[in-house]
Amino acid sequence: MTKKTIYSILTAIVLIAFYSYNLYSEKEAEQQIVTQGASVKNDTNEYFLPKSTTGQIIHHEGYSLSYSEPHEQAEWVAYELKKSHLSNTNFKRPYFEVDKAVKTKAAHWRNYKKSGYDRGHLCPAGDRKYSKYAHDETFLTSNISPQTHEFNSGVWNRLEQKVRYWASKYDGVFVVTGGVLKGKMKTIGSEKVAVPNQFYKVIIDNNSGNTKVLAFLLNHKDSKEPLYKFVVSVDEVEKLTGIDFFSELEDTKENRLEASNSYKAWSFN
């Protein structure tokens, strides 16, 4: 064996070892992000988190979510919107990024490109203006769902603004939101991201001294109807989605709150 051959073999061994180490390091880093995502963060209010039907809950600093791999989006996103979170600060919109904390791999933002649908936030960036990090974190792809522009900028936006109003009025609310991932749905992109036919939002006020809940169910189209027209019981949302909300509440209280579709205790002015 010539020196040149030996040198070539040694070079090949070094290169293989180098690339193997880099691949191992990348996988270790990816696994660390997944592990961190599975850990409950200090500001997470676990008490009001819904049950996951998918077994994959990810906790970010500003919100938690349950990811549905078959639909390539969250079945629910949940977060506490405190009065102190409300801010008029305007941060520059970042680029959307794939959520690396999703073990089964979150959908890529390119699925939405030229699809005719907005990348609709589930936890709105407007609810996380108290810091740049919290704001930018809402641009992870696990926090978006395909929405028509008319719906996203119309009735859905009106509802998001009303939630901020209630957060201010009642010294904070807890919010759970998502698309109804059931039935026949269109899909977009190479990863077949499902387009929900309906979206829901469930809100609980546990701070004003009289615990109350409010649930909304909206068809995926814009509407000029007043928001109270979309009020339903939590039970109805549970039946449609298969998700168990507020299971940590005392049973009698949970049953009473979830069966109600009254909005009279909430201010719509």
| CA 249 to centroid of chain Cα atoms | 22
The SS3 of residue 169 is helix
User: What kind of fold does domain 40-259 have according to CATH?
Assistant: Extracellular Endonuclease; Chain A (3.40.570)
Contact 198, 220 (CB under 8 A): yes
Q: Is the pTM of this model over 0.85?
A: yes
Residue 25's pLDDT is 52
pLDDT at 40: 72
Instruction: List the chain pLDDT tens, one digit each, 269 residues.
Output: 665 565 556 565 655 555 544 544 555 556 676 677 666 766 777 889 999 999 999 999 999 999 999 999 999 999 999 999 999 999 999 999 999 999 999 999 999 999 999 999 999 999 999 999 999 999 999 999 999 999 999 999 999 999 999 999 999 999 999 999 999 999 999 999 999 999 999 999 988 778 899 999 999 999 999 999 999 999 999 999 999 998 888 888 878 888 888 888 898 87
pLDDT computed for residue 30 by the predictor: 65
d(CA 269, CA 254): 27
For residue 253, what pLDDT is reported?
82
Distance of CA 97 to the CA centre of its chain: 14
At 102 the pLDDT is: 96
For 149-197, list the strands marked E by DSSP. Answer: 173-179, 186-188, 193-195
**What is the C-alpha to C-alpha distance for residues 214 and 246, in angstroms, rounded to an integer?**
12
pLDDT of residue 8: 57
